[in-house]
Amino acid sequence: MKKLLNVLALGLSFALVQPALSHSEEPRHGGVVSEAQDLNFELVNQNGKAVIYILDHGQPVDTAKASGKLTVLNGSEKTEVDLQPAGENRLASVSSVPLGKGAKAIASLTLGQNKVSVRFAVK
């Protein structure tokens, strides 16, 4: 019984500490946020096109020389589009993308010399 209480106390302490250790961002543009390589990425559907905002500890990341590809799985439909710089900390799709509810997306990005792969689940 004493062992069980110790395990429960340890589990409860981890549950209480976990939110304090988490540093994920809330969506700033109404999209879905994901984290990779200590960067925050927000995927947003803007007028049928995909836009990805990139932040590093709350600060905008320069995307002037960034590029990438977005693969969207919407049911059995697969769509791939190129991403290009579209402002201070944004990459945008060249063409329209179906980012409906339940879609899964994978962004393969090149940020300077770093390659980053980010997964999103649209809610």
Domain ranges of the chain: 25-121
Domain spanning 25-121: CATH 2.60.40: yes
- Residue 22 has what pLDDT? 47
pLDDT digits (tens, 9 = 90+) for 15-46: 555 444 444 567 676 689 999 999 999 999 99
pTM: 0.77
CA dist 68 and 59 (Å) reads 20
Give which of 1, 107, 95 is closest to 52, Cα–Cα: 107
- Residue 18 has what pLDDT? 47
